[in-house]
Amino acid sequence: MALLKPRQSTLLFGWWDPRPVLIWNDVLRLKLTLDQLIKCGLTSTDLALVQPDPGEWIQHAEAELKHARFLLANPFTYFRADLADVLSMHLSSSEMIRMELTHGQLVIAGMTADTEKMFKFDTDEWGMLGKRLPL
């Protein structure tokens, strides 16, 4: 459940049925899309309070790969992204960690020593993503 500001409530529910909160059943009942909710000014924290499972946003609210960062959703797990998709997102190592994206997943997706350089992470960042580092 996310608390709504008056403007957000009016945009989502109209003048005649304003509500102080948004719940998942509202999203389903009104067939709201993730883009509509973002345009209303809801944050990723708000949306996680409404529905923490990115899979539900994909199934019911038209979430796409472009929303992965907003939902903190692993692009491989939830969107079947490929390595090029992940590279094009320009994610920081801390974003990858919050998305539970690992070095192992990148390798499985085809990352090589050459493509690894394209992420521009230092040794500590790769270590936080699960890369085994030489002693």
What confidence tens digit (pLDDT) does each residue in 74-125 have?
999 999 999 999 999 999 999 999 999 999 999 999 999 999 999 999 999 9
Cα dihedral: 8, 18, 44, 63 (round 10): -100
What confidence tens digit (pLDDT) does each residue in 106-117 have?
999 999 999 999
CB 27 within 8 A of CB 51: yes
Confidence of residue 133 (pLDDT cuts 50, 70, 90): confident
Partners of 21 in beta bridges: 3
Whole-angstrom Cα distance, residue 122 to residue 106? 16
Task: Summarize the confidence of residues 15-38 as an average pLDDT.
Answer: 96
Question: Which helix or strand (DSSP H or E) is residue 78 part of?
Answer: helix 75-79
- Residue 135 pLDDT exceeds 80: no
SS3 21: strand
